Structure 1
Amino acid sequence: MKPKKLIMKNFGPFIEETLDFDQVATTGLFLISGKTGAGKTTIFDGMTFALFGETSGNLRAGKEMRSMFASPSEETSVSFTFAHQSLFYEILRRPEQILSKKRGDGVTNQAAKVQLTIFDAAGKELKQLSKRNEVDQFIKELLQLDAKQFFQIMMLPQGEFRNFLIATSNDKEKVLRNLFGTQLYQGFNEWLKEQQKAQNKTLEQQQQLAEQLLSRFDWQQEQPVFSTAEALEAWTADLEQQTAAIATMQTQKSEIDQAYQKTQTLFYQAKERENLRQEQQVLLEQQTALEASAPMINQKKHQLEALSWAAEKQPIWQRRMEKDAAYRHAQNQAAAAQDQLRSIQLQQQDWQAQRPIIEQRKEALEQATMKQRMFDSLLPIAQQAHKQQQALSDLRQEAQRQQTKRQAFEREESQFAAQQAQWTAEIEAAGNHQTVKIQLLECKNLLEKWLEIKEQYAKATADHQQRTVQEQALINKQTHLDKQAAALTVTLKTETSQNAKMQIARLQLLLEPDEPCPVCGATDHPNLQAHASYTIEDIMESEQRLLRTQKELTTAKEQLSANHTLLQQCQRQLAETHTLIEERQQAKEKAWQALFAALQVLEDGQAKITEATAADYLKQRMIVLDQQTAAVQKAQQQLQTLAQQQKMISNEKQVLIEAEAAVTTKQQLAEGRMAALMEQLSGYSIQEIETQRLEIKKLIQQQTNEIDSDAAQGAELEKSTVILSEKVDNLQTFSQEKRQEWQQANKDIDGFLQEAGYTEVQFEALLSGLSEKEALSIELKQYQQDLYATQQRLATLEQRLADAEPVDSEALSEQFQQLEATREQMQEKIIQKQEKRRNNQLIYQELHMIYAQNVQAMDQLSQLQQLAETINGENSKKTSLERYVLQRYLEEILIVANARLARLTRGRYQFELADKVGSYRSSTGLEIDIYDDNAGQVRRAHTLSGGESFIAALALAISLADVIQAKAGGIEIEALFIDEGFGSLDEESLEMAMEALEMIESEGRMIGIISHVRELRTRITQQVFVETNGGGQSQIRIKE
Structure 2
Amino acid sequence: MKPKKLIMKNFGPFIEETLDFDQVATTGLFLISGKTGAGKTTIFDGMTFALFGETSGNLRAGKEMRSMFASPSEETSVSFTFAHQSLFYEILRRPEQILSKKRGDGVTNQAAKVQLTIFDAAGKELKQLSKRNEVDQFIKELLQLDAKQFFQIMMLPQGEFRNFLIATSNDKEKVLRNLFGTHLYQGFNEWLKEQQKAQNKTLEQQQQLAEQLLSRFDWQQEQPVFSTAEALEAWTADLEQQTAAIATMQTQKSEIDQAYQKTQTLFYQAKERENLRQEQQVLLEQQVALEASAPMINQKKHQLEALSWAAEKQPIWQRRMEKGAAYRHAQNQAAAAQDQLRSIQLQQQDWQAQRPIIEQRKEALEQATMKQRMFDSLLPIAQQAHKQQQALSDLRQEAQRQQTKRQAFEREESQFAAQQAQWSAEIEAAGDHQTVKIQLLECKNLLEKWLEIKEQYAKATADHQQRTVQEQALINKQTHLDKQETTLTVTLKTETSQNAKMQIARLQLLLEPDEPCPVCGATDHPNLQAHASYTIEDIMESEQRLLRTQKELTTAKEQLSANHTLLQQCQQQLAETHTLIEERQQAKEKAWQALFAALQVLEDGQAKITEATAADYLKQRMIVLDQQTAAVQKAQQQLQTLAQQQKTISNEKQALIEAEAAVTTKQQLAEGRMAALMEQLSGYSIQEIETQRLELKKLIQQQTNEIDSDAAQGAELEKNTVILSEKVDNLQTFSQEKQQEWQQANKDIDGFLQEAGYTEAQFEALLSRLSEKEALSMEVKQYQQDLYATQQRLATLEQRLADAEPVDSEALSEQCQQLEATREQMQEQIIQKQEKRRNNQLIYQELHMIYAQNVQAMDQLSQLQQLAETINGENSKKTSLERYVLQRYLEEILVVANARLARLTRGRYQFELADKVGSYRSSTGLEIDIYDDNAGQVRRAHTLSGGESFIAALALAISLADVIQAKAGGIEIEALFIDEGFGSLDEESLEMAMEALEMIESEGRMIGIISHVRELRTRITQQVFVETNGGGQSQIRIKE
State the shift of 1:54 in Å: 1.5
1:76, 1:520 → 2: CA distance? 98
Change in Cα spacing, 1:452 to 1:496, as seen in structure 2 (3 Å) is: same
Change in Cα spacing, 1:936 to 1:646, as seen in structure 2 (3 Å) is: closer
1:156-185: per-residue Cα shift (whole Å, max 9, x none)? 010011111111222212211111111221
SS in 1 for 2:8: strand
Change in Cα spacing, 1:480 to 1:895, as seen in structure 2 (3 Å) is: farther
1:893, 1:761 → 2: CA distance? 60
Change in Cα spacing, 1:1026 to 1:407, as seen in structure 2 (3 Å) is: closer
Q: Is the 8 A contact 1:914 1:927 kept in 2?
A: yes
State the shift of 1:790 in Å: 100
Moved more, 91-100 or 505-514: 505-514
Moved more, 573-582 or 170-179: 573-582
Moved more, 269-278 or 9-18: 269-278
State the shift of 1:910 in Å: 1.3
2:759, 2:1002 → 1: CA distance? 155
Moved more, 16-25 or 383-392: 383-392
Change in Cα spacing, 1:418 to 1:892, as seen in structure 2 (3 Å) is: closer
1:28-75: per-residue Cα shift (whole Å, max 9, x none)? 001111111111111111111111111111111212212222222222
Moved more, 722-731 or 51-60: 722-731
Moved more, 240-249 or 450-459: 450-459
2:140, 2:800 → 1: CA distance? 113
SS in 2 for 1:597: helix
Q: Is the 8 A contact 2:4 2:81 kept in 1?
A: yes
Change in Cα spacing, 1:226 to 1:329, as seen in structure 2 (3 Å) is: closer
Moved more, 682-691 or 443-452: 682-691
State the shift of 1:991 in Å: 0.9
Q: How does 1:376-391 map to 2 (within 5 A)?
A: none
Change in Cα spacing, 1:480 to 1:657, as seen in structure 2 (3 Å) is: same
Q: Is the 8 A contact 2:929 2:940 kept in 1?
A: yes
1:248, 1:76 → 2: CA distance? 106
SS in 2 for 1:269: helix
1:838, 1:23 → 2: CA distance? 100
SS in 1 for 2:251: helix
Moved more, 219-228 or 182-191: 219-228
Q: Is the 8 A contact 1:484 1:556 kept in 2?
A: yes
1:104-160: per-residue Cα shift (whole Å, max 9, x none)? 333222222211111111111111112212111111111111111111110001001
Moved more, 832-841 or 172-181: 832-841
Q: Is the 8 A contact 2:434 2:1031 kept in 1?
A: no
Change in Cα spacing, 1:613 to 1:948, as seen in structure 2 (3 Å) is: farther
Change in Cα spacing, 1:627 to 1:384, as seen in structure 2 (3 Å) is: closer
Change in Cα spacing, 1:175 to 1:488, as seen in structure 2 (3 Å) is: farther
Change in Cα spacing, 1:472 to 1:685, as seen in structure 2 (3 Å) is: same
Change in Cα spacing, 1:830 to 1:957, as seen in structure 2 (3 Å) is: same
1:988-1014: per-residue Cα shift (whole Å, max 9, x none)? 111111111011000000000011111
Change in Cα spacing, 1:159 to 1:527, as seen in structure 2 (3 Å) is: farther
Change in Cα spacing, 1:377 to 1:225, as seen in structure 2 (3 Å) is: same
Change in Cα spacing, 1:659 to 1:463, as seen in structure 2 (3 Å) is: same
Change in Cα spacing, 1:388 to 1:778, as seen in structure 2 (3 Å) is: farther
State the shift of 1:308 in Å: 138
Q: Is the 8 A contact 2:29 2:1020 kept in 1?
A: yes
Change in Cα spacing, 1:608 to 1:408, as seen in structure 2 (3 Å) is: same
Q: Is the 8 A contact 1:622 1:1030 kept in 2?
A: no
Q: Is the 8 A contact 1:250 1:830 kept in 2?
A: yes
Corresponding residue number in structure 1 for 2:957: 957
State the shift of 1:196 in Å: 2.5
Moved more, 408-417 or 637-646: 408-417
Larger gyration radius, structure 1 or structure 2: 1
1:830-886: per-residue Cα shift (whole Å, max 9, x none)? 999999889867855653443233122111111112212221222222222111111
Change in Cα spacing, 1:284 to 1:416, as seen in structure 2 (3 Å) is: same
Change in Cα spacing, 1:782 to 1:269, as seen in structure 2 (3 Å) is: same
2:680, 2:116 → 1: CA distance? 78
2:632, 2:953 → 1: CA distance? 52
State the shift of 1:673 in Å: 126
State the shift of 1:591 in Å: 50
State the shift of 1:979 in Å: 0.4
State the shift of 1:626 in Å: 11
Q: Is the 8 A contact 2:101 2:107 kept in 1?
A: yes
Q: Is the 8 A contact 1:891 1:913 kept in 2?
A: yes
SS in 2 for 1:934: coil
SS in 2 for 1:252: coil
Change in Cα spacing, 1:1035 to 1:834, as seen in structure 2 (3 Å) is: farther
Indicate the percent of aligned positions where both proteins have the same amino acid. Answer: 98
State the shift of 1:778 in Å: 115
Moved more, 821-830 or 867-876: 821-830
State the shift of 1:231 in Å: 2.8
State the shift of 1:659 in Å: 86
Moved more, 419-428 or 639-648: 639-648
Moved more, 605-614 or 297-306: 297-306
State the shift of 1:227 in Å: 3.5
Q: Is the 8 A contact 1:870 1:880 kept in 2?
A: yes
Corresponding residue number in structure 2 for 1:9: 9
Q: Is the 8 A contact 1:626 1:1031 kept in 2?
A: no
State the shift of 1:314 in Å: 146
Gaps of 5+ in 2: none
Change in Cα spacing, 1:81 to 1:531, as seen in structure 2 (3 Å) is: farther
1:491, 1:323 → 2: CA distance? 145
Q: Is the 8 A contact 2:143 2:971 kept in 1?
A: yes
Q: Is the 8 A contact 1:947 1:985 kept in 2?
A: yes
Aligned length: 1040
Q: Is the 8 A contact 1:249 1:826 kept in 2?
A: no
Change in Cα spacing, 1:239 to 1:774, as seen in structure 2 (3 Å) is: closer
State the shift of 1:3 in Å: 0.6
State the shift of 1:363 in Å: 177
Change in Cα spacing, 1:189 to 1:474, as seen in structure 2 (3 Å) is: farther
1:957-995: per-residue Cα shift (whole Å, max 9, x none)? 111111111111111100000000000011111111111
1:335, 1:911 → 2: CA distance? 46
Change in Cα spacing, 1:937 to 1:361, as seen in structure 2 (3 Å) is: closer
Moved more, 441-450 or 515-524: 515-524
1:361, 1:169 → 2: CA distance? 72
2:1030 maps to 1:1030: yes
Q: Is the 8 A contact 2:106 2:448 kept in 1?
A: no
1:544, 1:351 → 2: CA distance? 156
Q: Is the 8 A contact 1:460 1:581 kept in 2?
A: yes
1:928, 1:547 → 2: CA distance? 105
State the shift of 1:482 in Å: 132
TM normalised by structure 1 equals 0.45
Q: Is the 8 A contact 1:53 1:93 kept in 2?
A: yes
Q: Is the 8 A contact 1:499 1:539 kept in 2?
A: yes
Moved more, 144-153 or 267-276: 267-276
1:299-320: per-residue Cα shift (whole Å, max 9, x none)? 9999999999999999999999
1:103, 1:208 → 2: CA distance? 80
2:520, 2:500 → 1: CA distance? 15
State the shift of 1:774 in Å: 121
Moved more, 923-932 or 207-216: 207-216
2:291 maps to 1:291: yes
SS in 1 for 2:801: helix
SS in 1 for 2:973: coil
1:238-285: per-residue Cα shift (whole Å, max 9, x none)? 689999999999999999999999999999999999999999999999
Gaps of 5+ in 1: none
Moved more, 1021-1030 or 918-927: 918-927
Moved more, 237-246 or 151-160: 237-246
TM normalised by structure 2 equals 0.45
2:172, 2:732 → 1: CA distance? 132
2:223, 2:619 → 1: CA distance? 96
Change in Cα spacing, 1:890 to 1:234, as seen in structure 2 (3 Å) is: same
1:372-399: per-residue Cα shift (whole Å, max 9, x none)? 9999999999999999999999999999
Q: Is the 8 A contact 1:913 1:927 kept in 2?
A: yes
State the shift of 1:195 in Å: 2.5
Corresponding residue number in structure 1 for 2:192: 192
SS in 2 for 1:977: strand
Change in Cα spacing, 1:385 to 1:285, as seen in structure 2 (3 Å) is: farther
Moved more, 877-886 or 361-370: 361-370
